Amino acid sequence: MIKKGEHTIYNGKEYRFMESEREGFIELISNDKEDMNYGFVHYKDNIYTKVISLNEVEKLFLIHSFAKYKGELFGASNGENGKILLATSHLKLAEKYGFERTDKYLYSKNVNLDEVEIIEERKPFSID
């Protein structure tokens, strides 16, 4: 699974999060029902949340994920049926690797996970 967006470490486990309406707090987001044993509440479907103080986490970080495909780097996200969706705005790369035009300046292609190397770029993040 490709990770993107705001993440933190809480009790040794990595979670996505969003800012809480309460100043100095964040809301953790989980898809693991077992987290209900640790104070998470069911939000909807398979989503569980927990509001915690910023003091309860070590650091906040922002994840950008890329995929290395045939020696080139592409934007990457989770595609359908367990595949990885690659994207580029570069026409020549798109033509070279058989991408389809999906928007005016965007080309995409679904590939199997074993065809790519996922690269996560993690940058410090702060709530100001």
Residues 16 and 39 grouped into a single domain: yes
28, 20 in Cβ contact below 8 A? Answer: no
Residues 48 and 91 grouped into a single domain: no
Global pTM value: 0.81
Alpha carbons 57 and 17: distance in angstroms, whole number: 11
Bridge partners (DSSP) listed for residue 41: 49
Around Cβ 67, how many Cβ atoms within 10 Å? Answer: 22
Q: Is position 74 within any domain?
A: yes
Residues 90 and 71 grouped into a single domain: yes
Alpha carbons 128 and 19: distance in angstroms, whole number: 10
Residue type, 106: L
Residue type, 34: E
**Structural domain boundaries, residue 33:** 5-58
Note down pLDDT in tens along the chain; length 128 residues: 799 999 999 999 999 999 999 999 999 999 999 999 999 999 999 999 999 999 999 899 999 999 999 999 999 999 888 899 999 999 999 999 999 999 999 999 999 999 999 999 999 998 87
